[in-house]
Structure 1
Amino acid sequence: MQEDFLYEPVCDAAGCQLAVTVLADRDHVRAEMRDDAEAAGFRVLECCSLEEYAQGPLAALGDLVLVDCSQATADAMALLSRLDMRGGKAGAQLVVSTTMGALDSVFGCFSMSSAQILVDPGRAERVIAIGRVLARVPNLRLREMGEEDRLMLLRLTEQVGQIAERLEKLSPGQRAGGGAFRFESPAPHWHGQGEDYTVQKEEAERPRLPDAAVIRTLIKARQMRSRYFDGELFADPAWDILLDLSAARAERLQVSVTSLCIAAGVPATTALRWIGQMVDADLLVRVADPHDRRRAYIALADSTADCMARYFADIGVSELAVA
């Protein structure tokens, strides 16, 4: 009966079937990822543990690389960094699932390949990630989709579209005729010094961010709403991310990806998607740890910090009493 459920191969414009490499130490996860990739029409090149792949001969990655890395061991991080470099050069799409405990280390390994990083995902989240990969392949030859496939892709498109639309409207006045996706590249204005960073002296006429304690008071007030109402009513990850990074900037502290995901108030995978979109929109910047290049922090871009300062000044937030 299994044959009744097999999908037709998914091919590129040249008629070649897309290939996938599946890497996971957990047997059941590896089996699920292989089944889902094959169900989507991919041809499996490799399916093994991370250690087996690292010790084997150098092989082609294929069009898609599915990785499950639950522990941030040195060997695993070295392999992820290699996959990021190879994927970025070869144009392979990477989908990497990990745990909250390993997120900071895993995130720091990817800077070239635009990998999708999923945190403690369910099987459905992995399937959606594969769907996003297929959506990025130009001139893709797809089999005719069933109703469930069509609805899944519609939900995915709607979610990504909502993120892009909300980011586009986030700061429409920052540049004449443009929104968040048309910022000029921010000039570097701070650099790591141990566990903090230094900010260059701003122009006297520009407002400065209020004291960090004031911003933290606003954040606490926002979070207290969940005591009385369903927290999902007020989910606004982009704003929560901006507030947390504003407070950190005022405190001259660096913010890890894990900490920022918690501050966003949404599931970590969703928060990562927001962070990635905001980095792409030049609202945020990714900063390498000067002491460990495998780690990375997230901070406000120069233009974003300026807009946050102007916003706080316009609403008189600096005049609020700190509890």
Structure 2
Amino acid sequence: MSNLIDAEDGMITSCTVLVIDDDEACLREYCEIIDSLGYAHRSASGAAEALRALTEDKTIGIVVTDLQMPGMDGMALLAEIDARYTTARPIVTLMVTGFGSLQTAVDAMRQNAVDFLAKPIERDEMVSALRRASARRAQLLGLWKLSALQTAAAKGAQPSDLIREISGGGLKDFVRNIILLRRKRMDFLDPELFSDPAWDILLELTLAKLENTPIPMSSACAATQVPFSTAFRHVGNLVASGLVRRWKDASDNRRVMVELEDDTHAAMLQYLTSIKG
């Protein structure tokens, strides 16, 4: 099965699920459930094998691990994942155990596990846990992208020079196509798998900036296809991060306008040009 990758913008939005358990029967059962949900997946029988997989496969973004394993146990594995990989890419972890206790659950959460599942796991429990993990990873991915854009903008040349150089009609069509593909995808696949409101807003505002036309905040929120309150919060985060500016329309005080800051626009153009080829 191929990985669920956001091919039109070159970034991994959904991901491969890595499942770790030293019990072959449990490992096979979890993989069958995950496969039936349409997720790409890999399996490992222990922590060492899992760490090798994480190093080799950059598409792994969700890890489901057993607690009790020989050698390095699940708790130590979560700590190792956090130390080695989470600064390089967003990874969400879930803990599974047949020896559950409140203290174990607390310890797992301290290691940034987003869920704690007790064996035997029902299919519906795994489905719900993976949905929550996917939603959490989407949030982390949005923050990761914002950080990357801020870094790119800080390293860039004069934004106005870059904008004049590469803001031609071909790039406008390219951005329109990315937006269209992201929306079309939701006709066939669960939108929660690809929810990334901050990125959708940035793409919409990039197109508006290329067209030299600020847009109402309501239009930017509508581009996300998530509840307005959620989209509104993401706009606020973008404004607070200095990536987007917001002001009241002088001709209509009831309307709030938004557009990318020049440095953000420059970073977006650098990124889009690099994947456009």
Do both share a fold (TM > 0.5)? no
Higher helix fraction (1 or 2):
2
Shorter-chain TM-score category?
A: 0.3 to 0.5
